[in-house]
Amino acid sequence: MYKDDTPTSSNLTLTSENISKFALQVGFNACAVAPVHRLDDDAEFMDCWIAQGLHGEMDYLERNCDKRYDPALLVPGAQAVVVCLLSFEHSGRDYHRRVKSMLYTLEAQLKEAFGEDIVSSTHQHIFCDSAPILERRWCVEAGLGFIGKNHQFIHPTLGSMVHPGEIIINKPLPISNTPYPISALCADCRLCLDACPTGALRNNVWDATQCIAYTTHHCLECQLICPFNL
């Protein structure tokens, strides 16, 4: 599909488009880049959400907040977040291993094409559900999709059944796309709100203490009903 457009490792310009081409070549379904900045709105929202106890047993969210809101504190020299998406159907059972393996392959290609100093040599800079980083928000910041009323990240064509992975790089890049606002493409739909069996999505807030997925890990109702996943 991208055969004629496949980047080679010599004399390439460092652009978001070329990074995305490498990512698609590695097997990701989508990729885009967001410039690093502090997520002020998310910091305010999450501090309030945690203060109300709506994060339930996820005590880890109370720690490393400064790093979670600002990748420049997580990875010294951070300039941009490369966000990659892998659909559930391509990830297999152990999606952590699969996504991370693909990110390491992508990293090697980026180093070869753009220099070893494109990433930190001293700090962890590859993430998949594993560090204080607001993954869904960076998916949005990169312009890959929006947060739906079900509080899931939704890609317009891949839906919400995607695993994100990130590489934080230490070279500046322009933004790939303009971020979508919250619920951008939900319009008047409220199927997920009506389908939730516990009321965990009441009042435009996701209440983890009421969410079955966070107690038994066996609920996808608010995603299965979503038209973007059909």
Q: How far is the CB of 192 from ligand SF4 (least distance, A)?
A: 3
Binding to ligand SF4 by residue 98, rule CB under 6 A?
no
Which amino acid appears at position 19 of this protein? Answer: I
Q: How far is the CB of 160 from ligand SF4 (least distance, A)?
A: 8
Taking CB under 6 A as the criterion, the residue among 212, 216, 217, 230 binding ligand SF4 is 212
Query: Considering beta carbons, is residue 9 or 204 the nearer one to ligand SF4?
Result: 204
Half-sphere exposure of 51 (CA within 13 A, CB side): 6
Angstrom distance (rounded) from CA 74 to CA 2: 34
Q: Nearest-CA neighbor of 131 among 81, 181, 79? A: 81
Q: How far is the CB of 49 from ligand SF4 (least distance, A)?
A: 14
CB 27 within 8 Å of CB 91: no
Taking CB under 6 A as the criterion, the residue among 43, 65, 184, 219 binding ligand SF4 is 219
Binding to ligand SF4 by residue 114, rule CB under 6 A?
no
CB 28 within 8 Å of CB 84: yes
Distances, alpha carbon 31 to alpha carbons 18, 84, 143, 144, 175, in Å: 10, 4, 10, 7, 12
- The interface mask with ligand SF4, positions 134-153, x = CB under 6 A, is --------------xxx---
Query: Considering beta carbons, is residue 76 or 156 the nearer one to ligand SF4?
Result: 156
Binding to ligand SF4 by residue 33, rule CB under 6 A?
no
- The interface mask with ligand SF4, positions 168-207, x = CB under 6 A, is ------------------x--xxxx--xxxx-xx------
Q: How far is the CB of 90 from ligand SF4 (least distance, A)?
A: 22
Total residues belonging to the chain:
230
CB 179 within 8 Å of CB 136: no
**Closest-CB residue for ligand SF4?**
148
**Angle at 222 (CA atoms; ends 93, 100), nearest 5 degrees:** 30
Binding to ligand SF4 by residue 127, rule CB under 6 A?
no
Helix (H) / strand (E) element for 163: namely strand 162-169
Angstrom distance (rounded) from CA 21 to CA 43: 32
- Site size for ligand SF4, by CB under 6 A? 24
Instruction: Catalog residues that contact ligand SF4 under the rule CB under 6 A.
Output: 148-150, 186, 189-192, 195-198, 200-201, 211-213, 219, 221-222, 225-228
